[in-house]
Amino acid sequence: MPDRQLSDAESAIPGRPPPLVRFASVSRRFGPVTAVDSVSLDIARGEFCALLGPSGCGKTTLLRMLAGFERPDEGRVLLDGEDITDVPPHRRAVNMMFQNYALFPHLTVEANVAFGLRQENMPAAEIRPRVADMLASLRLDGLEKRKPAQLSGGQRQRVALARALVKRPKVFLLDEPLAALDKKLRSETQFELRELQRKLGMTFIVVTHDQEEAMSMADRIAVMNRGSIVQVAPPRDVYEHPISRWIAEFIGEINLFEGVIDSTGPSGTWVDTPAAGRVHTPNEVPARKGDNAFVAVRPEKVLLAPFDSDPGAYNSASGTLVDVAYLGDTSVCRIKLDRGGFMRATITNARRRGGEPVAPGAHVALRWEPDSALVLVR
Amino acid sequence: MIVRRLSPFNLVSIALGLTFLYLPIAILIVYSFNDSRLVSVWGGWSLRWYRALLEDSAMLEAAFVSLRVAMLSATLATVLGTLAALALVRAGRFRGRLAFSAMVYAPLVMPEVIIGLSLLLLFVAADFSRGFWTTALAHTTLTMCFVTVIVQSRLLDFDRSLEEAAMDLGCPPLRTFFTVTLPLIAPAIVSGWMLAFTLSLDDLVIASFTTGPGATTLPIRIYSEVRLGVKPEINAICTLMIATVALIVVVASLLSKRYSSTQERRAALGGPPM
C-alpha cells in the first residue's frame, strides 16, 4: 500500500520518487507490423493511468508487455525499480482483468477468486476469509457457489475484478474493462472503478478506446496512435490543449479551420483563415509568419446568436443554421459558414420549454473567446 | 422451440431413409428374441439365445478380447491423439507441420484393407508374434486420427485468455494445462475416447489382418460363425453389441452437447469474443 497519493504534477516530474512502472523505449513487432514503436512511459505509485487510442494503436500490446504475455523486441520493462522484461507472467506482481473477463467456466465464483491465492500456496484457513472479504466488498456475497455462466454481465465483471484484486497486485491492469457492459451499467461502473482505486490506493492501468471512459476515470491519459504515445496529460489538458490535430480530432468533437499564421509571440497568436476569418489565441506556437496552421474550436465553446449588425473583427463568423440535432441535454447545431465550410456549435438545453433560440434556416453569428480557440501547427 | 410442420414429401423421405437405415437392425433385434431354431421363421418371444450365449465360452472369450483391445487402443489413441491435436493447434507453424497433419489424418481416408495389410507386413517384418498386442496397436493407429479431429476442434475454439488468466494469477504453465486447459477440453477427450472405443469394437478388417491365434476378436468370431450359417445366437450377440455401441454414442453426444451449450451460454453472456 502506498503511504500517500501522488498528485499528477508530482508524477510528471522526473527525478522525484521513482516510478512504479517504467516502459523504457519498448518496441514490439509482429512480422512487418510494428505494434509498439519505442514507447517510453512512467507510471507513478497510486496513479490511475489510461492508455487511450483507436483499435490497433498498440495499447493492448503495451499492457500485455507489462503483464508478461508479450516480450518486447527492444527496450526494458521495469516494475518498482526491478527489470521484469524476462520474468514470466506467473512470477510478476501484476494482475490483469481481461476484456472478456476470462473467468474459469468450470470453477465456482469462490474458486475463481481463490485461484490466485491457491497458487501462492496460502493455507486454506487464510484464503477463505480473504476471498469472503473480497466478495462482500464487491457485493458478490451469496453468489459463491454459482458458475460464471449463471451470472449477469455486471456480476461477471465484478468477479473478474475480485479475482485479480484479491492478489493485491502492485499494478492492476484492465483491458477494456467496460466494453462488455451495456451503456447504463458502464457509466455506473466507471465511477465505481474510480472509487475502488482511490480506496485501495492501488495503481491502475486501463486500456480503452473509449475517450469518455478514459476521461472519467484516469488521473492521466496516454494517447496512443500507430504504436507511439502522442500525448500524456491529465484528461482536462488532453481535451483542452491537444498538442496535435490528430489528438484534437480523436478526443471529442472539434471544428478545424485551415489557415496561415500572421504572427505569434508571448502576447498570443494571430491566424488568418479563409473560412472563419481572423482568429486570435493567447498561446504562442512554435511557428513563423506564413506557416500553415489549424485553428481548433470545440463546439461547446462556440456562442451562437441571431445575426446582428457587427459580428466583430476577429474570433467570429457568420453563417446559416442548417440543422439542429436535439440530444436531450444538448442540441448540436450545424452551420454553413458564409465564407465556406461548416461549423458545429453545441447549445445546452437549460430550459425545458425554451424552444430553439434560433431555427434552422436562420442567419446566425458565431463567436468564441480567444482562449477557447487553439492553434495547432502539427 | 419452433415446431415446423413437415410436408408430405419430407415425411415420406424421412420414413424411407429411416427404414433403409434401421429396418435391418430392427429385424435383427426382434429375431434375437425368436424362440425358433430357424433364423427366418418366427416362433414366439424367448430369451433362449441369450441363455445359449452365456454358455458359448468361445463367443464370450472373443467378446472379452474385443473389450480389452478396445479399452487399451482407445486409451492409447486418446493420449496420442490429444498430443497430436495440441501440437497442431498450439505449436505454431513448426517445420513439417503440413506433413505432420497429413500423416495424422491419413488413416481417416486410407482404405482399411490397406492399413491392415501394411500393418501385417510391418509386424511380419519386425517379427512380432501377432495377437492381442498387435491388434491393439493397429487399432490405436486407426482411431488416433478420430481423437485428434475431435480434440483439435475443441482446442481451436478454446479461449486462450483463460490460460493467460491462470498464468497471470501465478499459475505456472504446466499446472495451468492441468488445472484449466485439461478440465475444459475433457468432454472432447472423453467423447474422442468413446469414439475410438466403438471403432475398435466393431472393426473386422484390420483385426483380421493383425490378430493371431488366441486373440480372436468378437467381429472375427461372428464373421467366421456366419460363414457356417447364421445361428440365432449371432442375433443375440449382435443385439448386445448394438446396445453397447448405442449407449456409448449417446453418452458421447450428450457430453459434447453439454459442452457446447455451456460454451454458447458463455458466449451469450460474455459479450464480444476476443
* pLDDT for the residue numbered A5: 41
- The mean per-residue pLDDT over the stretch B2-16 comes to 83
pLDDT surpassing 60 at residue A30: yes
* pLDDT for the residue numbered A203: 92
**Number of structural domains chain B divides into:** 1
pLDDT surpassing 50 at residue B227: yes
- The mean per-residue pLDDT over the stretch A369-377 comes to 84
pTM: 0.77
Give the helix, strand, coil percentages of chain A, each rounded to 5: 25, 35, 40
Query: How far B255 CA sits from the closest chain A CA (Å)?
Result: 14
Let me know if residue B73 belongs to a domain: yes
pLDDT in tens, B87-119: 988 887 788 888 888 888 888 888 989 999 999
pLDDT surpassing 80 at residue A12: no
Q: How many CB atoms lie within 10 A of CB A80?
A: 15
* pLDDT for the residue numbered B17: 92
Nearest CA in chain B to A162: B169
Instruction: Report how far apart, in Å, the C-alpha atoms of A347 and of each of A241, A299, A331, A355 are.
Output: 22, 8, 5, 12
- Mean of the per-residue pLDDT values for chain A? 86
The SS3 of residue B42 is coil
pLDDT in tens, B148-188: 999 999 999 888 899 999 999 999 999 999 999 999 998 88
Under 8 Å between Cβ of A279 and A363: no
Reported confidence tier of residue B34, pLDDT bands at 50, 70, 90: confident
Under 8 Å between Cβ of A340 and A318: no
Let me know if residue B12 belongs to a domain: no
Instruction: Report how far apart, in Å, the C-alpha atoms of B67 and of each of B7, B61, B128, B136 are.
Output: 45, 10, 22, 10
Let me know if residue B15 belongs to a domain: no
pLDDT in tens, A186-195: 888 888 899 8
The count of CB pairs under 8 A between chains A and B is 89
Contacts of A3 (CB under 8 A, 6+ apart): none
pLDDT surpassing 50 at residue B269: no
* pLDDT for the residue numbered B12: 93
Instruction: Report how far apart, in Å, the C-alpha atoms of B8 and of each of B2, B4, B23 are.
Output: 19, 13, 21
pLDDT surpassing 60 at residue B274: no
Residue to test with chain A: of B93, B169, B259, most A Cβ within 10 A? B169
* pLDDT for the residue numbered B262: 57
Nearest Cα neighbor of B266 from B188, B162, B171, B175 is B162
Reported confidence tier of residue A1, pLDDT bands at 50, 70, 90: very low
- The mean per-residue pLDDT over the stretch A85-94 comes to 91
Q: Which helix (DSSP H) or strand (DSSP E) does residue A238 occupy?
A: helix A235-240
CB < 8 Å to B159, chain A = 100, 102
- The mean per-residue pLDDT over the stretch A22-26 comes to 91
Instruction: Report how far apart, in Å, the C-alpha atoms of A79 and of each of A90, A210, A240 are.
Output: 14, 27, 32
Cβ within 8 Å, pair A100-B273: yes
Domain that holds residue B135: 56-268
Residue to test with chain B: of A61, A69, A71, A100, most B Cβ within 10 A? A100
* pLDDT for the residue numbered A353: 63
- The mean per-residue pLDDT over the stretch A219-240 comes to 91
* pLDDT for the residue numbered A330: 84
Let me know if residue B182 belongs to a domain: yes
- DSSP per-residue codes, B43-69: --B--HHHHHHHH-HHHHHHHHHHHHH
- Mean of the per-residue pLDDT values for chain B? 86
Reported confidence tier of residue B207, pLDDT bands at 50, 70, 90: very high
Let me know if residue B140 belongs to a domain: yes
pLDDT surpassing 90 at residue B244: no
* pLDDT for the residue numbered A258: 87
Under 8 Å between Cβ of A102 and A58: no
Give percent above pLDDT 90 in chain B.
38
Q: Is B92 exposed, middle or buried (0-12, 13-18, 19+ CB in 10 A)?
A: exposed
Q: Which residue has the higher pLDDT, A46 or A14?
A: A46
Let me know if residue B31 belongs to a domain: no
- The mean per-residue pLDDT over the stretch A54-77 comes to 91
pLDDT surpassing 90 at residue A180: no
Question: Which of A309-323, A344-358, B133-147, B220-234 is least confident?
Answer: A344-358
Place of cell 513439417: B96
Reported confidence tier of residue B137, pLDDT bands at 50, 70, 90: very high
- The mean per-residue pLDDT over the stretch A28-57 comes to 90
Helices (H), chain B: 8-32, 48-55, 57-90, 97-109, 112-125, 132-156, 160-168, 173-176, 182-201, 205-210, 218-227, 232-269
Reported confidence tier of residue A223, pLDDT bands at 50, 70, 90: very high
**Between B161, B166, B271, which is nearest A179 by CB?**
B271
Contacts of B44 (CB under 8 A, 6+ apart): B34, B35, B36
pLDDT in tens, A119-167: 888 888 889 999 999 999 888 888 888 999 889 888 999 999 999 999 8
Q: Is B174 on the interface with A (CB under 8 A)?
A: no
A247: cell is 489528438
Rounded to whole angstroms, the Cα distance separating A271 from A264 reads: 9
pLDDT surpassing 80 at residue B206: yes
* pLDDT for the residue numbered B7: 87
Give percent above pLDDT 70 in chain B.
92
Q: Is B164 on the interface with A (CB under 8 A)?
A: yes
To 5 degrees, how large is the angle CA B145–CA B147–CA B149? 70
Let me know if residue B1 belongs to a domain: no
Encoded amino acid at A178, one letter? L
CB < 8 Å to B188, chain A = none
pLDDT surpassing 90 at residue A65: yes
Cβ within 8 Å, pair B269-A153: yes
Give percent above pLDDT 70 in chain A.
93
Q: Alpha-carbon dihedral of residues A278, A282, A283, A289, nearest 10 degrees?
A: 40
pLDDT surpassing 70 at residue A82: yes
Q: How many CB atoms lie within 10 A of CB B74?
A: 28
Rounded to whole angstroms, the Cα distance separating A347 from B116 reads: 83
Q: Is B171 on the interface with A (CB under 8 A)?
A: yes
Q: Which residues on neighbouring strands pair with residue A221, listed in sequence order?
A: A50, A233
- b/e sequence A171-208, b meaning 16+ C-beta within 10 Å: bbbbbbbbbbbeeebbeebbebbbebbeebebbbbbbb
pLDDT in tens, A258-284: 888 888 888 888 888 888 888 888 888
Reported confidence tier of residue A66, pLDDT bands at 50, 70, 90: very high
Rounded to whole angstroms, the Cα distance separating A159 from A153 reads: 10
- As for the ipTM of the complex, it is 0.79
Rounded to whole angstroms, the Cα distance separating B140 from A361 reads: 81
Nearest CA in chain A to B170: A90
* pLDDT for the residue numbered A354: 59
To 5 degrees, how large is the angle CA A172–CA A176–CA A181? 115
Let me know if residue B13 belongs to a domain: no
* pLDDT for the residue numbered A352: 65
B58: cell is 468361445
Q: What CATH number does the domain containing B256 carry?
A: 1.10.3720.10
Q: Is B92 on the interface with A (CB under 8 A)?
A: no
Reported confidence tier of residue A374, pLDDT bands at 50, 70, 90: confident
The sign of the CA dihedral B196, B201, B204, B209 is positive
- b/e sequence B120-149, b meaning 16+ C-beta within 10 Å: beebeeeeeebbbbbbbbbbbbbbbbbbbb
* pLDDT for the residue numbered A104: 92
Nearest Cα neighbor of B194 from B65, B78, B24, B92 is B78
